[in-house]
Structure 1
Amino acid sequence: MRNILFHICATLLGLALAFFALRYTTDLWAPAVVFSLQLHAGVAMMLLALFCLALRPGAVSMAMLCATMLVVCHAVLMIWNSLPPTFSAGTTSTQSLRVLSFNVLGENLENGGAIADYILQSGADIAYVMEAAPVGLHLDRLSKTFPYRIGCGDHTSTCDLLLLSKYPLEMVYVGNLSDLRKDRFATARIHLGSVTLSLAAAHLSKPYFDKYHTNELAGLGEALSKIDGPLVLAGDFNAATIAPDMQGLLKRTGLTTAGLEPATWPIGAGILGVPIDHIFIRMPVMAQKLSRIPSSFGSNHHGLIADLTVPNGGLLPGL
């Protein structure tokens, strides 16, 4: 019985390892759907490898354990490399900026008022809202605190992607990432003291819609690579930063996360979920703190808040 159990577990583990090996040998979209779960799957495979080692100590079991450890270590390394530089207050004068990003769920109309209340009392200077229809019902109240916006009638005919700002928005652009959804990409600029900061918002398609996710990220990367200077990008990306196409976006644009990212989906998984909602920054924007908002307010995503700083003075190349 012990021998049969070992062969079953070893076969399953071998198939799982072969599947994740596709990450390094192909760019097929179908396997890539699961690569956001590389850390989760790697830990599960490592536990299974340890079980195999307990059932039958030997070279085969040890080799499988080492392979699973490589999968986990690669996921951890990608997360580490995506982190921002350590924040240092130093002596340089800085401007503070609080950014909120939240996919509120388009059908979550009954909680729109509570979400609007939270946005108002959050202290956010910029709020990115996806599937914004519930919040769009409360724009009159929101406009008193955030007099500038993109979405829900301003620059768009849709109420999906919404960007709320306490600062005047300049050079506003709204476009489509693909033909699958409309008005899911926007850019603008704001002034923080002597600094001009670029803002970008995106709501990506789900990664199991053929190659839409990869193609949308490619177009997003091309657009953002043309923007010089400090940049904040936020939204619902429907993938973790460790997914191959997400790694490509960060490398192409020079963006990092705003800190160690908390899980944002699915709600029921808690801290064991996947961080598919992001706030990305590019130097010289610095991150002080990234956290998950305290309630999902009926959405199927958790929202994020990032406290950022931007140095004043002539430290911003390209502006």
Structure 2
Amino acid sequence: MRDRISSALGLLVSVGLMVVALRYVTDFWLLSFFFSLQPQLGVVAALGALACLVLRRSAFAYVLLAVSLFLCGHALWMQREFLPSATSDVAADATRFRVLSFNMLGNNHSNVGRIIDMVNGSGADVAYLMESGPLLHHLDALSAAYPYRIGCGILVEECDLMILSKHPLEHPEYLSLSDLRSNRFAMATVHIGGHAVQLAAIHLTKPYFDDYHTTELRRAGAALRKRGGSVVIGGDFNSDTIAPDMQAFLRRHALQATGSEPATWPVAAGVFGIPIDHIYVSKDIAPLSLTRMADHYGSNHYGLIADLALSPPR
């Protein structure tokens, strides 16, 4: 009986490992969600392999354990590639600024007051808000702290993706990255510390919807390249940084994470969730810290706050 249970468990672990390992030969969209789950699935597979060894020691179970540990380790290694360098090189006279990014959930009406208080009290210079429909009739409560806005009646009628700013927003623009969702990519220029910074807020389609996710990333990248200059892009990417199309996007546009990325979805999973919400910056911007909001304010996502620095122009 122990042999049969060990064999059946080994087969299940093998299938799981094979699904994750396919990332090394293909970025097929139907499997893309599992690629973001590589660390979690690697841990589960390792535990399954250990259970196989407890039931019956075999060379196959040891191989499964080795492959599981490799997948976990490589996921951590891939995350390291996009982490910022040490902040000790930040100039003393650099201009500090803060960016908030939060998918507040489109039917989250009962927490609007708390969300407004949080945004107003966050100290953020710029706030990217996704699924912001519940704020439609409460925008005046944000206008004192954030006198500049695009979205929710400015540039586009729909109240979905919105950028709030304490600085004037120049050359604002909305793009529809695919025919599945409209106006889920917004850009504008702000001047901070003598620098022109390109702000970009994004809400990507889920990665298992055909090739939409990869296509939308490519179109967003082309729009950023057309603008040029320093970039702060944040929002709900619906994928971990380690997903193949995400890695290609970051490498192609020389972007980096703003710190070790915490899990943001689903909130019920806590630290065992997936970091699918991100704030990335170009490498001429120094990330100082990245923190996950302590409260999810009724959303199914946690929000992020990044503190950044720009050295004065020479």
TM-score range for the pair, normalised by the shorter chain length = over 0.9
Q: Name the residue aligned to 2:270.
A: 270
Tell me the percent identity.
47
3-state SS of 1:102 partner: strand
Structure 2: how far apart are the matches of 1:239 and 1:201?
Answer: 15
The aligned amino acid for 1:137 is H
Deviation at 1:158, TM superposition (A): 0.9
Instruction: List alignment gaps of at least 5 residues for structure 2.
Output: none
Look up the SS of the partner of 1:225 in the other structure. helix
Give the equivalent residue in structure 1 for 2:74. 74
**Alignment-derived partner of residue 229 in structure 1:** 229
Are 2:192 and 1:181 equivalent residues in the alignment? Answer: no
Aligned to 2:274, the other structure's residue is in SS state coil
| Distance in 1 between residues matched to 2:50 and 2:255, nearest whole Å | 37
Which residue does the alignment assign to 1:241? 241
Matches of 1:137 and 1:254 in 2, distance apart?
39
Count of aligned pairs between the two proteins: 314
Shift of 1:224: 2.1
Letter in 2 for 1:253: H
Q: Contact conserved, 2:90 with 2:309, CA < 8 A, in 1?
A: no
Q: Distance in 2 between matches of 1:308 and 1:246?
A: 22
1:209 is aligned to 2:187: no
Contact 1:225/1:252, CA 8 A, preserved across alignment = no
Supply the distance in 1 between the matched residues of 2:89 and 2:204 (Cα, whole angstroms): 34
Judged with a 3 Å threshold, the aligned counterparts in structure 2 of structure 1 residues 91 and 212 are, in CA distance, closer, same or farther, namely: closer
Give, as a single letter, the amino acid of the residue that structure 1 aligns with 2:208.
Y
CA distance in 2, matches of 1:125, 1:236: 19
CA distance, structure 2, for counterparts of residue 85 and residue 227 of structure 1: 25
Instruction: Judge conservation of contact 1:115–1:135 (CA < 8 Å) in 2.
Output: no
| Pairs within 5 Å for 1:78-117 | 78-88=78-88, 90-117=90-117
Q: Which residue of 2 aligns with 1:32?
A: 32
Further displaced range: 15-24 or 71-80? 15-24
Output one character per residue of 1:36-70: Cα deviation in whole Å (capped at 9) or x when no partner: 11100011111111222333334322222111111
Tell me whether 1:42 sits opposite 2:80 in the alignment: no
Q: Which amino acid aligns with 1:130?
A: M
Q: 1:27 to 1:91 in 2, by over 3 A?
A: closer
CA-to-aligned-CA distance 1:217-259 (integer Å, 9 cap, x gap): 1211222233433210001111111111111111111111111
**8 Å Cα contact 2:250-2:256 kept in structure 1:** yes
Partner of 1:136: 136
Match of 1:167 in 2: 167
CA separation in 2, counterparts of 1:14 and 1:272?
22
Instruction: Tell which deviates more after alignment, 159-168 or 184-193.
Output: 184-193
Whether the 8 Å CA contact 1:287–1:309 is kept in 2: the answer is yes
TM-score, normalised relative to structure 2: 0.96
Residue 170 (structure 1) shift = 1.0
- What is the root-mean-square deviation in Å for CA atoms of aligned residues? 1.4
1:251-270: CA deviation from partner (whole Å, max 9, x where unpaired)? 11111111111111111111
Could you list the runs of 5+ residues in structure 1 that have no partner in the other structure? Answer: 315-319
